[in-house]
């Protein structure tokens, strides 16, 4: 086995008395492709800074192979002190490095090199920092959220370029598709320690779930042991206090401490959206919508209908006019031609990607309450500020922290927390996934799945789009936007199908006829016979809900039995049988819910004529 280019061993670090890293390890060999994953606040960025030599740990060992070059991409690159982006990138070159590669990378990333760093957007600053990190072709490339603020063409270019590099990579990213494409090994940082999987990210989540299930099993065994010991303490009478049993009491104390250690670690974000009144069935209808700035046409003759419950993904390169399009659809901007009609009773809440509405001098509590008291109203019910902060992994001591002092991930969570606390039936989300960890994204997805309102989602996260949107509105050039049914991958399939069909007919792909509403593609289904629900499906659809309710009631009854602290002590065998029955009922209920959901989707599809 080749010696590692870089390794961290038994790394310890404490911030303000709270341990962050407690024996973390990381090892990278020549040509290695490693992704570092974990929740926000788990210490991923800190561990990467230690690997880069930018931060010193309290304990542990860092080793870099002599002569190996290391380059690091920060989440928030600092370009101050440079006159142009070219100067900034060239300053990262070492002796003997080719300056032409710096110019080439800047050009590939859409920059001339003459840009003033003080006037760069977040995406332009990230592109400049990427060019600086990649230009020397280092032996080790450490990348912290490299896709943040990049558009889809830039992400796909970066994915391809990194796939062909000879540099060893360590990547932190919330972009699942990016990690699946590039990683060959995965390090999971959780509770201050690391676990390593010698496979890419596409295998990580199943492996992690197995680790969590095993930990739950161990926790359950520990809990049962503690119950037995407490039972001995309560019913052992005076003998429990005799000197010869003091060792057993100390053992019980140790068991309780072990359980506390198992439970310790980052919490889980709890997301509850505050839904407003039900909007009308029609949310927005655009006819012939057109908007131009000088000679640049941003939206050209767009007709579109958005209905209650739709989740519309909007994709396109930076500069295509996605924000302008959203403003037109929401009525914040007037078109040059055409019309936009909105439905009744709309309550809109927006989440902007730049976090512009977060004033740096405001405290976290002022941002959440508007400076009025210490209560937040969530789903129509008052909730104390501190409790709501904890739902989003903030600690009580942060209530008075200025927003400017929060990390990128913390600002991202704050924006989501603030948006979800406001009543809405229309969510406008502009790059909401930036700076959020993978677990939070999973919960965000579940929240959007359950949201009864309508969502306009601008995103460059391909996996997130695939998971949540019902259709994609894609930029096709020259102000032309086309709607495709399904997620991002469905859009690519439909585009390829249209291109292949045009190639087979010997004709070039033609633009849609102007003035005609974009229609959802049905090519992929045109050869299939019309589907219908069988009698068996209809009967199952009618009876499954009652079955699910009955299973839920039985599960609650069994859970109440198992919650009795004396049940196990009275009859351990009956306790085990009850737990087994509960597990079987939970599995049956899950299968019934999945079956009902599939039938409900089929019924909706047939009723809508799609």
| Predicted confidence (pLDDT) per residue in 36-70, tens digit | 999 877 899 999 999 999 999 999 999 999 999 99
Q: Are residues 486 and 539 in the same domain?
A: no
| Predicted confidence (pLDDT) per residue in 409-425, tens digit | 777 788 888 877 888 88
- Give the model's pLDDT for residue 117: 92
Contact residues for 106 (Cβ-Cβ < 8 A; gap 6+): 85, 86, 89, 112, 113, 127, 128, 131
- Give the model's pLDDT for residue 521: 38
Contact residues for 314 (Cβ-Cβ < 8 A; gap 6+): 322, 325, 326, 456, 457, 458, 459, 472, 473
SS (H, E, C) 366-391: HHHHCCCCCEEEECCEEEEHHHHHHH
Give the CATH number, domain containing residue 602: 1.10.287.380
- Give the model's pLDDT for residue 605: 62
Q: Are residues 441 and 547 in the same domain?
A: no
Q: What is the spatial distance between Cα 196 and Cα 211, in angstroms, rounded to a whole number?
A: 11
- Give the model's pLDDT for residue 431: 85
Helices 152-163 + 122-134 axis angle, to 10 = 10
Assess contact for 245 and 393: CB atoms under 8 A: no
- Give the model's pLDDT for residue 277: 65
Phi, psi of 262 (to 5 degrees): -65, -35
Assess contact for 274 and 417: CB atoms under 8 A: no
Is 334 inside any structural domain? yes
- Give the model's pLDDT for residue 264: 43
Q: Are residues 111 and 74 in the same domain?
A: yes
Range 176-198 burial, b when 16+ CB lie within 10 A, else e: bbbbebbbebbbbbbbbebeebe
Q: Are residues 333 and 430 in the same domain?
A: yes
HSE (CB half, 13 Å, CA atoms) of 379? 8
Q: Are residues 348 and 404 in the same domain?
A: yes
**Mean of per-residue pLDDT scores for the chain:** 82
Phi, psi of 504 (to 5 degrees): -65, -30
- Give the model's pLDDT for residue 243: 44
- Give the model's pLDDT for residue 199: 94
Q: What is the spatial distance between Cα 260 and Cα 253, in angstroms, rounded to a whole number?
A: 11
| Mean pLDDT comparison of 196-200, 214-218, 431-435, highest-scoring range | 196-200
Residue 109 clears pLDDT 80, i.e. is over it: yes
Range 121-140 burial, b when 16+ CB lie within 10 A, else e: ebbbbbbbbbbbbbbbebbb
Poorest-pLDDT segment among 68-82, 130-144, 297-311, 529-543: 529-543
Q: Are residues 459 and 345 in the same domain?
A: yes
Coil vs helix vs strand at 249 = helix
> What is the average per-residue pLDDT within 253-264?
51
Q: Are residues 401 and 365 in the same domain?
A: yes
Q: What is the spatial distance between Cα 212 and Cα 219, in angstroms, rounded to a whole number?
A: 10
Is 581 inside any structural domain? yes
- Give the model's pLDDT for residue 450: 79
| Predicted confidence (pLDDT) per residue in 533-580, tens digit | 666 777 777 788 788 888 888 888 888 888 777 787 788 888 888 888
64, 66, 67, 71 alpha-carbon torsion, rounded to 10°: 10
- Residue 21 is part of which domain span? 6-206
DSSP 8-state class, residue 486: S
Assess contact for 72 and 142: CB atoms under 8 A: yes
| Predicted confidence (pLDDT) per residue in 260-273, tens digit | 454 444 456 666 66
Q: Pick from 457, 489, 508: which residue ends a domain?
A: 508
| Mean pLDDT comparison of 285-289, 489-493, 601-605, highest-scoring range | 285-289
- Give the model's pLDDT for residue 610: 45
Is 272 inside any structural domain? no
pLDDT-based confidence at residue 258 (cuts at 50, 70, 90): low
Residue 163 clears pLDDT 70, i.e. is over it: yes
pTM of the shown model:
0.67
| Predicted confidence (pLDDT) per residue in 327-344, tens digit | 999 999 999 999 999 998
Q: What are the tokens at 503?
A: 């190639």
Total of domains in the chain:
3
Is 380 inside any structural domain? yes
Is 142 inside any structural domain? yes
Q: Are residues 481 and 595 in the same domain?
A: no
Phi, psi of 518 (to 5 degrees): -60, 130
| Mean pLDDT comparison of 13-27, 40-54, 220-234, highest-scoring range | 40-54
Q: Pick from 165, 188, 206: which residue ends a domain?
A: 206
> What is the average per-residue pLDDT within 209-224?
68
Q: What is the spatial distance between Cα 43 and Cα 59, in angstroms, rounded to a whole number?
A: 15
- Give the model's pLDDT for residue 3: 79
- Give the model's pLDDT for residue 240: 44
Over its C-alpha atoms, the chain yields an Rg (Å, rounded) of: 28
Q: What are the tokens at 175?
A: 């972009």
| Predicted confidence (pLDDT) per residue in 505-544, tens digit | 665 444 333 333 333 333 333 334 344 566 677 777 778 8
Residue 75 clears pLDDT 60, i.e. is over it: yes
Q: Are residues 159 and 82 in the same domain?
A: yes
Assess contact for 451 and 270: CB atoms under 8 A: no
Quickly tell me which residue has 């295998």 as its tokens.
Answer: 203
Is 222 inside any structural domain? no
- Give the model's pLDDT for residue 218: 65
Q: Are residues 377 and 476 in the same domain?
A: yes
Is 288 inside any structural domain? yes
Residue that wins the pLDDT comparison between 71 and 529: 71
What is the total residue count of the chain?
A: 610
Quickly tell me which residue has 């300053």 as its tokens.
Answer: 91
- Give the model's pLDDT for residue 439: 76
Residue by residue, DSSP assigns 333-376 as S--SEEEEEE-SS--EEEE-TT-TTS-TTSBHHHHHHTTSTTEE
Poorest-pLDDT segment among 4-18, 78-92, 293-307, 560-574: 560-574
- Give the model's pLDDT for residue 563: 77
Is 447 inside any structural domain? yes
Helices 99-108 + 122-134 axis angle, to 10 = 150
């Amino acid at each position: 086995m080749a010696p590692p280019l870089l390794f961290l061993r038994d790394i310890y670090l404490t911030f303000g008395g709270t341990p962050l890293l407690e024996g973390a390890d990381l090892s990278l060999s020549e040509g290695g492709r490693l992704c570092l994953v974990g929740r926000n606040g788990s210490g991923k960025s800190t561990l990467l800074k230690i690997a880069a030599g930018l931060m010193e740990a309290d304990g542990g060992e860092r080793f870099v192979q002599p002569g190996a070059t290391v380059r690091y991409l920060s989440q928030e690159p600092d370009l101050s002190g440079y006159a142009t982006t070219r100067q900034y990138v060239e300053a990262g070159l070492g002796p003997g490095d080719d300056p032409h590669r710096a110019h080439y990378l800047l050009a590939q990333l859409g920059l001339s090199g003459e840009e003033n760093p003080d006037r760069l957007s977040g995406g332009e600053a990230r592109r400049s920092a990427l060019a600086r990190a990649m230009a020397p072709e280092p032996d080790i490339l450490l990348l912290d959220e490299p896709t943040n603020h990049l558009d889809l063409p830039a992400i796909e270019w970066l994915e391809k370029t990194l796939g062909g590099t000879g540099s060893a990579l360590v990547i932190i990213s919330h972009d699942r598709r990016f990690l699946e494409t590039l990683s060959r090994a995965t390090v999971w940082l959780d509770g201050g320690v690391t676990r390593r999987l010698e496979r890419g990210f596409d295998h990580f989540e199943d492996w992690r779930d197995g680790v969590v299930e095993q930990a739950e099993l161990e926790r359950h065994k520990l809990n049962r042991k503690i119950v037995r010991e407490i039972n001995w303490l309560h019913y052992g009478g005076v003998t429990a206090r005799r000197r010869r049993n003091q060792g057993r009491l100390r053992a019980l104390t140790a068991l309780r401490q072990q359980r506390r250690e198992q439970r310790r670690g980052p919490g889980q974000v709890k997301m509850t959206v505050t839904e407003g009144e039900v909007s009308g069935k029609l949310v927005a209808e655009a006819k012939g919508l057109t908007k131009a700035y000088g000679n640049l046409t941003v939206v050209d003759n767009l007709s579109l209908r958005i209905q209650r419950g739709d989740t519309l993904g909007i994709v396109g390169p930076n500069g295509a006019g996605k924000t302008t399009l959203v403003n037109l659809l929401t009525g914040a901007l007037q078109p040059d031609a055409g019309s936009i009609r909105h439905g009744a009773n709309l309550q809109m809440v927006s989440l902007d990607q730049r976090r512009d509405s977060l004033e740096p001098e405001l405290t976290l509590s002022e941002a959440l309450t508007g400076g009025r008291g210490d209560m937040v109203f969530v789903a129509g019910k008052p909730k104390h500020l501190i409790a709501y902060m904890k739902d989003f992994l903030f600690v009580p001591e942060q209530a008075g922290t200025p927003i400017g002092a929060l990390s990128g991930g913390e600002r991202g969570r704050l924006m989501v927390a603030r948006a979800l606390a406001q009543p809405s039936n229309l969510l406008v989300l502009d790059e909401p996934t930036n700076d959020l960890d993978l677990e939070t994204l999973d919960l965000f997805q579940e929240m959007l799945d359950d949201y009864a309102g309508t969502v306009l989602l601008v995103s460059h996260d391909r996996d997130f789009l695939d998971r949540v949107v019902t259709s994609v509105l894609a930029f096709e050039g020259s102000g032309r936007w086309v709607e495709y049914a399904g997620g991002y991958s469905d859009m690519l399939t439909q585009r390829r199908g249209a291109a292949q069909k045009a190639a087979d007919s010997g004709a070039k792909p033609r633009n849609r006829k102007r003035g005609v509403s974009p229609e959802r593609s049905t090519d992929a289904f045109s050869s299939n016979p019309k589907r219908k629900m069988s009698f068996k499906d209809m009967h199952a659809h009618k009876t499954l809900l009652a079955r699910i309710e009955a299973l839920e009631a039985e599960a609650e009854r069994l859970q109440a039995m198992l919650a009795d602290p004396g049940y196990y002590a009275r009859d351990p065998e009956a306790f085990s049988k009850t737990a087994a029955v509960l597990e079987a009922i939970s599995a049956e209920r899950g299968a019934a819910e999945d079956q009902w959901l599939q039938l409900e989707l089929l019924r909706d599809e047939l009723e809508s004529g799609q």
